[in-house]
Chains A and B, each alone.
Chain A
């Protein structure tokens, strides 16, 4: 199914091996965590010697070995999912509806199902390890009236298994909500072992907290709905229900301290196994990789830094190359000299030119993205050309529910390559999409369409669907909103006459017929009707910061490009023998100033400068929420670095007067 041949050399040679190493370490850590779990689960305060001897004998028992094998399988699958799902650019849902769409997406459903199963497996291992009353699903019991011995359902075992499934689902669910698969890069470089050691307390804390929350939620869940699975299991497996025991879906049954202790301990064990795998994967993938600046042999030419930077398809390679650029510009004199060197026959500054061109194109792309977003906001979402017109939509769009206030301001995003998700096996799924996804993904531009769907459909993901204005009902009412024809007809309840008569929204060129007029009015009525419904507004209103976050979602790349440029340019003042940097200095300066203006203007938009709420402890990484602040700070530092290094010499650089004025402020430290 997965053809590795299509992937670039980097994924084949580096990423896969890093993932394998991380999985190997997680497997090696399993006996340790299992031993700790055994010690804690059998803990008895008053018989310490017996406790220790019990545990040692249990650790050597065959059942534990078998559990370990099962757990290894679970870790392998988790590691595989990490490799498959990880992303360097988080997907940011812009409304609650979009989030709901992501959660209900088939791919996500498969993910949840697998995690439920894995959760049950781990909890089965845990219950076998704890032993005692938890060990088997069936127990012998004596019926009260007849006195004969029958096999009864062991509700404790069932309880623990269901808890595993519950925790598996909540892990999968929170993985979407908190962007668990988003891999962020640390601001400082550390070796893998110190980094793991430093993160370990945090991971243990997170898993304990998460397990306690899940245990509480599951207890409540079981209290209300526990009856159903219990009767179902007992009827299908033909097990009696022991009436002499207290049923667990009652208050007195749940207030069993030992049960809750074991539940939270096994939950912690479960989460810890998964989180450790995620943590090790993150540490391995984000490890710096050193690309050669200049390849010695022609067959290695594609692995050299300038070539790799220009690469569009492998996102992880591009990110690591930019990181390497930022690091070499700061720390490595010899590699900087290679960047500034001239090609041997010919004397061209190929290295510097390629690197600076790539960095500048990244930055100017961000500038254009910001400017386009500001234009879209300034025109109140009145976007002139609705280029992705509705004619491309498939006929199955009738299944799309209300697409509500979703306005698709077509912000031109030139970063198509950067938006491609960083998954390894991305291209392989494209073939089978039409049959698989047609019933689920009716409308690519509907709020249900997450980047994940777009990928499945094989369409390149042009934007997150949240650029545009921050919605409020009255803005919506006066703006000629590009409501997609199919959804509107669906929600208004009137069946569409035919696809041909439904006008595409920006039908300015066509003459407005009576029918179109009438439809327009109806549309307005429906919109104002829907806008008054609280639930619908709740679901479809844009999350305030989301558009800002989505604009800067991949800004880590820009930050490294800025850092790399600033340090290289500053170093060139004394290290650049041939003056190769001088030729590009005007370009760099004007690019930086233009970007600074765009960023400054972006921060004047509503909600752009509001800080996100800090999450206390979660495994999901929320670094992407503050990337825009980081980008602004790094951008200013970059300009300051260049101006302080060059000082008065900047007056000799050929740039426009406005830009010079702006730089003068930096020279005087007035910005």
Chain B
């Protein structure tokens, strides 16, 4: 046990940061970057403070690790398991009915074409023609929207917020918005729920729970967890007081809508009354009334589907990204939308400021962060402005130079609006160019400011895959990171709030001002 993490102070900074992680890089110079002035990593003098191989655990949040070996995914999809059984010839009717049930019209036509010797000639030829026509039409459709040619699993992997989804032991992660518990979806299609101060970890399994792409807890509710699966949407009701480790599948509601799968993103409204789900193959997003199990589709054809949804914390707007170079921002009062065409690439990730007035976006393949402002009075900005340039820059490190920067894969803003974490993709070929999480200090009033704060890196070989801020950490901000080695770790940032900014409730800010850091139960753990 080591006594305490290394304390590093920034001079001239109004807040005090105790960052501890595997790798900490500190800044000495403070520079205010105003709205529309670009920030680049290279422009800031950054020195390396030291390597702290300390994993720090605030409170006693569980940080489990999952390896691929211990979790066995279902090895092959259902359709290919057929080869394991003896081939038995059914009658043509039976086979046609089965094909219709399994694969729809395509399957039926395929079956008829394949059994040409049993059916009348005109039927076989006709179905072959129709099949060719359908394939041609769908390939034309696919050439308009290339993502439609992907298989269901590939699509989930492509549009999931978890990087490298298909290879990862962790499929998705979600903090509960009000309590210290989180849910993790794993490779074997199960979901585990971890609570602080509790050793019981309920495991959720369901027949329909395949290829989990997103998880989200219902706000203003202790129990409901929405799960985006390959074929449907599951709403688990996990009784928080129950000690059962294996809730039955009767606790889950199955919501599905024809043509609306796989679901790659879900978003609860902050009041917990509505749930929106999106699928890359469906041009409409579904607004679910979960208790009534009914959905209102909101159809907009352009874009070819919806991949990512993010509800602003004040509930007034909803971002919907499409697979094409286009995203929409819905206003949730009358459900009208603004179209935002991009120059190139689709919207990869986005996060809202706590007051819902500012939206940060990253585009696929781009190394910059864009910002959009919204305002009910002035209508907000007319074009997205670049607020940060995160191109490759090298820094002197302990083991030689370290290159940092690259494509922005994921963005996360802490609920008080004071820290912004940016996941930068590295270059797997290069030696010293790992994926890192860059952390910035942010301030939204009087002007938007972004100050470099530090980097979070994993152990050797471990790359960050997903990150999310704890929704109500008392003493600052707590970033939870899922690593490629299957570990989940929590990186706390202790600071006292620099003025009561943001849309937080007064008590929370008060609590953080009076928080006594030394009384905190901190312990460290050596990582070999």
Identify the A interface with B (CB < 8 A). Answer: 186-191, 194, 197-198, 330-331, 563, 567, 611, 614, 623, 626-627, 629-630, 632-634, 636-637, 640-641, 644-645, 647-648, 666, 668-671
Are B293 and A611 neighbours in the complex by a CB distance under 8 Å?
A: yes
The minimal Cβ–Cβ distance linking A618 to chain B, given in whole angstroms, is 13
A198-B296, A647-B507 given; A630·B291 CB < 8 A: yes
Contacts of B272 in A (CB 8 A): 637, 640
7 tightest CB-CB pairs across the interface, nearest first? A669-B222, A640-B220, A626-B292, A633-B291, A630-B291, A629-B291, A187-B289
Contacts of A636 in B (CB 8 A): 220-221
**Complex alpha-carbon distance, A626 and B289, angstroms:** 10
Are B273 and A198 neighbours in the complex by a CB distance under 8 Å?
A: no
Are B292 and A330 neighbours in the complex by a CB distance under 8 Å?
A: no
Contacts of B271 in A (CB 8 A): 330, 567, 637, 641
Contacts of A186 in B (CB 8 A): 296
User: Is B63 in contact with chain A by the CB < 8 A criterion?
Assistant: no
B interface majority secondary structure: loop
**Complex alpha-carbon distance, A623 and B299, angstroms:** 22
Contacts of B176 in A (CB 8 A): 669
A637-B221, A640-B221 given; A190·B294 CB < 8 A: no
The minimal Cβ–Cβ distance linking B498 to chain A, given in whole angstroms, is 21
The minimal Cβ–Cβ distance linking B269 to chain A, given in whole angstroms, is 10
User: Is B274 in contact with chain A by the CB < 8 A criterion?
Assistant: yes
Q: Which of B19-27, B50-58, B111-119, B333-341 contacts A (4 or more CB under 8 A)?
A: B333-341
Are B287 and A629 neighbours in the complex by a CB distance under 8 Å?
A: no
Are B287 and A187 neighbours in the complex by a CB distance under 8 Å?
A: yes
B residues 480-519 with Cβ under 8 Å of A?
A: 505, 507
Interface string of B274-316 (1 = CB under 8 A from A): 1000000000000101111110111100000000000000001
A637-B220, A644-B178, A670-B241 given; A191·B294 CB < 8 A: no
User: Is B126 in contact with chain A by the CB < 8 A criterion?
Assistant: no
Are A669 and B179 neighbours in the complex by a CB distance under 8 Å?
A: yes
A interface majority secondary structure: helix
Contact of B287 among A188, A563, A611, A641 (CB under 8 A): A188
For B222, the closest partner residue in chain A by CB is A669
Can you list 18 residue pairs at the A/B interface with Cβ under 8 Å? A189-B333, A194-B336, A197-B299, A331-B316, A331-B333, A614-B293, A626-B292, A626-B293, A630-B289, A632-B291, A633-B291, A640-B272, A641-B220, A644-B178, A648-B507, A669-B222, A669-B240, A670-B240
**Complex alpha-carbon distance, A630 and B293, angstroms:** 9
Number of A-B residue pairs having CB atoms within 8 Å of each other in the complex: 83
For A649, the closest partner residue in chain B by CB is B507
Contacts of A633 in B (CB 8 A): 290-291
Contacts of B298 in A (CB 8 A): 198
> In the complex, given contacts A187-B289, A198-B296, A331-B316, what are 8 additional A-B residue pairs having Cβ atoms less than 8 angstroms apart?
A187-B274, A187-B292, A187-B294, A194-B335, A197-B299, A611-B293, A614-B293, A636-B220
Are A188 and B335 neighbours in the complex by a CB distance under 8 Å?
A: yes
**Complex alpha-carbon distance, A669 and B217, angstroms:** 12
Contact of B178 among A190, A331, A669 (CB under 8 A): A669
**Complex alpha-carbon distance, A632 and B223, angstroms:** 14
**Complex alpha-carbon distance, A188 and B271, angstroms:** 13
For A187, the closest partner residue in chain B by CB is B289
The minimal Cβ–Cβ distance linking B330 to chain A, given in whole angstroms, is 10
For A640, the closest partner residue in chain B by CB is B220
Are B290 and A188 neighbours in the complex by a CB distance under 8 Å?
A: no
For A327, the closest partner residue in chain B by CB is B333
Contacts of A666 in B (CB 8 A): 222
Are B334 and A191 neighbours in the complex by a CB distance under 8 Å?
A: yes
Most buried by B among A197, A330, A563, A648: A330
B residues 202-248 with Cβ under 8 Å of A?
A: 220-223, 240-241
Contacts of B287 in A (CB 8 A): 187-188
For A631, the closest partner residue in chain B by CB is B291
The minimal Cβ–Cβ distance linking A91 to chain B, given in whole angstroms, is 20
For B299, the closest partner residue in chain A by CB is A198
Contacts of A614 in B (CB 8 A): 293
Are A626 and B291 neighbours in the complex by a CB distance under 8 Å?
A: yes
Contacts of B505 in A (CB 8 A): 645
For A202, the closest partner residue in chain B by CB is B297
A187-B274, A190-B334, A640-B220 given; A626·B294 CB < 8 A: yes
Contacts of B289 in A (CB 8 A): 187, 630
Contacts of A198 in B (CB 8 A): 296-299
Are B292 and A190 neighbours in the complex by a CB distance under 8 Å?
A: no
Are B273 and A637 neighbours in the complex by a CB distance under 8 Å?
A: yes
B residues 168-219 with Cβ under 8 Å of A?
A: 176, 178-179
**Complex alpha-carbon distance, A633 and B272, angstroms:** 9
For B289, the closest partner residue in chain A by CB is A187
**Complex alpha-carbon distance, A644 and B240, angstroms:** 17
**Complex alpha-carbon distance, A186 and B332, angstroms:** 14
Most buried by B among A194, A647, A648: A194
For A671, the closest partner residue in chain B by CB is B222
